[in-house]
Amino acid sequence: MFWISTLLLLLTGIAFVLVPVFLMRNTAESENGQRVAANIALYRERSRELIDELNSGALDRAGYDSLLAELQRSLLSDTGPGEAGGANVSRGMSGSEGPAMPLSKQVRNLLTAGPSAARPGTGLLQPVKLIPLIAVLLIPPVAYGLYEKWGYHDDIQLSGLFRQALHPSNDPKEVSALIMALKSAVQEYPDNQWAWYFLGRSYSRLGMHKLASDAYLSALSYLDNEPDRVMAMSQYVLAEFQGADRQLTESARNMAARVLAINPDEQTVLRVLATEARERDDLATAIEYWRRLVRASPASSAARVYRSNIAAAENMLRDRGELPLDNRAALSTSSPRVEVTIALAPGLDLPPDLAVFVAARNAEKEGMPPLAVVRLVTGQLPATVVLDNSSAVGPFNLGSAESVTVSALVSRRGVANPQTGDYRTMSGPLNPRSSDTESVSLVIAEQVD
């Protein structure tokens, strides 16, 4: 389709050049013929007048011959190729450059042939027409040659592979052929992140999860955009989980924590963590992950499945006599809690749909993922939220730290890592294990540089 489109554009461009050239040729021939016909008519009229004057005695023979020669020279000059025609007439009279056709014979030939005998300079060999024609003939090979050297031909070919990987066939043979094509692509373009990413997806589709994990890691080494990195990291967690007989490897667990630190609502990772918790019979943890999935997309068809899973797991917990998760009073007495009040600074006017991340981090381990996160939007502020163990986003929770700091981030891109243009504020150290619930108020005012 790409080559057909370029060919049509090329033909259109050629038409813009050639059509005026041929129209100019036809127009010039028509105008030149009319000019010659008019000059011949004037010559015949004037020559008759000279004959009448000779017959009436108004002119002698010498005068007649002189005026007739001058009239013939004028005719040939006006109907010939401009200055060249005039030069030919002079040479015909003087004979300075060898024998030439007598003037009277040149005139007789012109009168016999009529306008068709005097159309010099209107052929395609004239430079004004030949140069555009040569340029048109050179455009296709030059344009395609330059495009082959400096164009994005390879990227267009790769984009076709990527579209195929986005909508893969159910035929294993076609998927295998796609894998071979993507393997060739990463060998030729080893720094193309999307070739690695879609190779990983294709491997996963055939159940080759270890190879998929390696492909996703290769993609991550070239991806710079954070949302794209989150997507590749999430697929890596899924591939590792599936390749390890539905168990979380240490690398997958760490990668999951990194993903949730950036986007606490990343659904692929939350599904993996919920499934892993259920399969090791940690129903309380599985319920928390399912609840977070429901909160992230409450109207989806998947949310109905998660609610059903939550109800079934809670029934199992009640049958065992364990603490039901919806007993908030019981949770509040057994879980560290930090109560956070968040507000925008007076005069700070922000769109109401920006993401707000309220996060608690271990104060003694700078740079580590958050221990607990609650997500809001700016339209809900001011608000008060409670961070506790149910807000955990990774393997560690508030109970694992003796001292925490609490931050509030308004993200324009919807990710939990501060970016230039976001707004962020942070508290001092707090003790989440205190017998009394820790409380802190945060006012969002400072913009991230």
For 39-82, give the DSSP string: HHHHHHHHHHHHHHHHHTTSS-HHHHHHHHHHHHHHHHHHHSST
Query: Residues of 97-134 as b/e, b for ≥16 C-beta within 10 angstroms?
Result: eeebeebeebbeebeeeebeebeeebeeeeeebeebee
Rounded to an integer, what distance in angstroms lies between the CA atom of residue 49 and that of residue 65? 13
**Is the model more confident about 53 or about 25?**
53
Three-class DSSP labels, 256-300: HHHHHHHCCCCHHHHHHHHHHHHHCCCHHHHHHHHHHHHHHCCCC
Peptide bond into 370 cis (omega under 30): no
Is residue 369, in this structure, part of any structural domain at all? yes
Q: In terms of Cα–Cα distance, which of 2, 4, 13 is closest to 142?
A: 13
Q: CB under 8 Å to 258, separation ≥6 — which residues?
A: 233, 369
Considering the domain architecture, whether residues 108 and 217 belong to the same structural domain is answered as no
Report pLDDT for 156: 57
Considering the domain architecture, whether residues 227 and 90 belong to the same structural domain is answered as no
- Is it the case that residue 14 has pLDDT exceeding 80? no
Considering the domain architecture, whether residues 306 and 342 belong to the same structural domain is answered as no
Is residue 227, in this structure, part of any structural domain at all? yes
The domain that holds 213 is classified in CATH as: 1.25.40.10
Q: In terms of Cα–Cα distance, which of 233, 282, 229 is closest to 257?
A: 233
Residue 413 backbone dihedrals phi, psi, to 5 degrees: -105, 0
Rounded to an integer, what distance in angstroms lies between the CA atom of residue 53 and that of residue 143? 68
Read off the tokens for 401: 């730290």
Contact 260, 269 (CB under 8 A): yes
426: domain range?
Answer: 336-444
- Is it the case that residue 124 has pLDDT exceeding 70? no
Is residue 228, in this structure, part of any structural domain at all? yes
Report pLDDT for 414: 86
Is residue 140, in this structure, part of any structural domain at all? no
pTM, two decimal places: 0.50
Number of folded domains that form the chain: 3
Among the three residues 130, 146, 176, which one is the final residue of a domain in this structure?
A: 130
Report pLDDT for 2: 59
Rounded to an integer, what distance in angstroms lies between the CA atom of residue 229 and that of residue 262? 10
Q: CB under 8 Å to 425, separation ≥6 — which residues?
A: 407, 408, 442, 443, 444, 445, 446
Contact 351, 385 (CB under 8 A): no
Rounded to an integer, what distance in angstroms lies between the CA atom of residue 127 and that of residue 106? 27
User: What DSSP letter does each residue of 121-186 carry, written as one string?
Assistant: T-STTSHHHHHHHHHHHHHHHHHHHHHHHHSSHHHHHHHHHHHHHHS--S-HHHHHHHHHHHHHHH
Considering the domain architecture, whether residues 356 and 286 belong to the same structural domain is answered as no
Least confidently predicted of 23-37, 212-226, 369-383: 23-37
- Is it the case that residue 436 has pLDDT exceeding 70? no
Give whole-number Cα distances, 70 to 74, 117, 319, 439, in Å: 6, 21, 128, 116
Q: What is the mean pLDDT of residues 127-149?
A: 72
Pairing outcome for strands 372-377 and 355-362: antiparallel
Rounded to an integer, what distance in angstroms lies between the CA atom of residue 287 and that of residue 289? 5
Report pLDDT for 302: 86
Is residue 432, in this structure, part of any structural domain at all? yes
Considering the domain architecture, whether residues 13 and 115 belong to the same structural domain is answered as yes
Of all helices (H) and strands (E), which one includes residue 377?
Answer: strand 372-377
**170-186, pLDDT tens digit by residue?**
777 888 888 888 888 88
Of all helices (H) and strands (E), which one includes residue 386?
Answer: strand 383-387
Number of helices (H), then strands (E), belonging to the chain: the values are: 15, 7
Is residue 148, in this structure, part of any structural domain at all? no
Q: What is the mean pLDDT of residues 146-161?
A: 62
Phi-psi region of 82 (alpha: psi -120 to 50; beta: other; left: phi over 0): left
DSSP class of 447 = B
Confidence of residue 68 (pLDDT cuts 50, 70, 90): confident
Q: What helix, strand, coil percent values describe the chain, rounded to 5?
A: 60, 10, 30
**72-90, pLDDT tens digit by residue?**
888 777 776 443 344 344 4
Q: What percent of the chain lies above the pLDDT cut of 90? A: 27
Report pLDDT for 1: 60
Considering the domain architecture, whether residues 293 and 164 belong to the same structural domain is answered as yes
Is residue 108, in this structure, part of any structural domain at all? yes
Read off the tokens for 303: 């949310």
Among the three residues 283, 313, 330, which one is the final residue of a domain in this structure?
A: 330
Considering the domain architecture, whether residues 323 and 359 belong to the same structural domain is answered as no
Considering the domain architecture, whether residues 299 and 361 belong to the same structural domain is answered as no
Is residue 211, in this structure, part of any structural domain at all? yes
Report pLDDT for 426: 92
Considering the domain architecture, whether residues 314 and 410 belong to the same structural domain is answered as no
- Is it the case that residue 408 has pLDDT exceeding 90? yes
Q: In terms of Cα–Cα distance, which of 449, 379, 435, 444 is closest to 406?
A: 444
Considering the domain architecture, whether residues 42 and 9 belong to the same structural domain is answered as yes
Considering the domain architecture, whether residues 107 and 164 belong to the same structural domain is answered as no
The domain that holds 383 is classified in CATH as: 2.60.40
Among the three residues 86, 112, 130, which one is the final residue of a domain in this structure?
A: 130
Considering the domain architecture, whether residues 111 and 175 belong to the same structural domain is answered as no
